[in-house]
Amino acid sequence: MLELTIGIVGATGVVGQTAFDILADDFSGFKVKKLKMYASRSSAGKVFNFRNTKVTIEEIQLDSMLECDALLFATDAAISQEYIPKLAEKGILCIDKSSAFRVHPDVPLVVPEVNGHTLSYEKIAKFPVIASPNCCTIPLVMVLKALDNEFSLKRAIVSTYQSVSGAGKPGVETLTEETQNFFVNQDLTCGKSDVFPKSIAFNVMPYVAGILENGDTDEEAKIIAETRKILEKVNLPLAATSVRVPTFVGHGESVTLEFKNKVTAKHVKEILAKFAGLRVIDESSKLEEDDFELFVTPREAHGKDEVYVSRIRTTDVFENGISLWIVSDNLRKGAALNAIQVINHCALNGTIISLKRK
């Protein structure tokens, strides 16, 4: 098995910490020979225990990162834009979770179960950078790809219900503080915070990131553009509404789809159940021991690797229409796990070995 030195950039954030936890497990394509962790100057020097080995957080520095075989960037776009091109020039594989390179024409935007074929050495040799999609795009395209293969997707409408961890540690801390403030002081003032434009505790807001000229939010624009790129359907009619909700981890998506071919709920369930990484939940499903469920909530998806699909039913809004409900852990499959699966795929197909020999 390939032994690799893996780096996590942004190691103290919620995605970086999730990646740290996931990398403690074994993967089919590689083994972590050495783990390097990078963060801001204020976090440098902190020590973590990884597989009974102490790992000290380092300040983000190019020379140290050049020692890695692959790097997972769980940072904001500015950090990715500053360091990734320099690392790629040296042949270091970089998996970027930010939006910095997602729409770059020469950078694959990858969910391995959907378009893993784009991860060949030939495709990334000149610029070994792979973008990991938005946390809502990933579960959405897994469902759309599975159904498009069978029924030919015509259009999609999606509303997302996104937890505060999508805004990182500050989002989690803000919801915690506002909730505590309500119970202690009975104060639920709907004012601005440093993270959200209005109070998020006991509230929902149809606003995730800034508003664009056409009225979409930046988050909605990302979902639309990324879905089209991954599915290679540049003209796919797709409408998205992104809503921030007062939950800590786990995103939900209400999706209505139209297909060119005739569909039934039964057939849709059969197709989705066969697709890697998806799990269909209905009246016959067993979610936990002795627990039969009709649907799955974001809380139940917390800590799980699967993307859950439930509430599958036909709709007469479209001639060949299906509505369904998707939930996943936005920190795992929506972020860290997907990036690590990309590294695993590149290890299995020989891409990393070829880059090391370059």
Q: Write out the H or E segment, with its range, that includes residue 162.
A: strand 153-162
Q: What are phi and psi of 123, to 5 degrees?
A: -80, -25
> How far apart are the two ends of the chain, measured CA to CA in Å?
20
> Among residues 133, 315, 119, which one has the least CA distance to residue 224?
133
DSSP-assigned letters across all residues of 303-348:
T--SEEEEEEEEETTSTTEEEEEEEE-TTIIIIIHHHHHHHHHHHH
Given 68, 94, 136, 251, the catalytic residue = 251
CB 302 within 8 A of CB 172: no
CB 8 within 8 A of CB 38: yes
Both tokens of 68, joined, read 């890695």
CB 166 within 8 A of CB 172: no
Which class for 26: exposed (0-12), middle (13-18), buried (19 or more C-beta within 10 A)? exposed
Given 68, 94, 135, 346, the catalytic residue = 135
CB 193 within 8 A of CB 174: yes
CA distance 305 to 333: 6
Q: Is 345 annotated in the active site?
A: no
3-state secondary structure of 301: helix
Q: What are phi and psi of 129, to 5 degrees?
A: -125, 130
Q: What is the DSSP letter of 109?
A: B
CA distance 255 to 277: 18
Residue type for 194, please?
D
> Among residues 269, 234, 253, which one has the least CA distance to residue 330?
253
Q: Is 251 annotated in the active site?
A: yes
Which residues have a Cβ under 8 Å from the Cβ of 303 and sit 6 or more positions away? 329, 332
Please give the positions annotated as active site: 135, 251
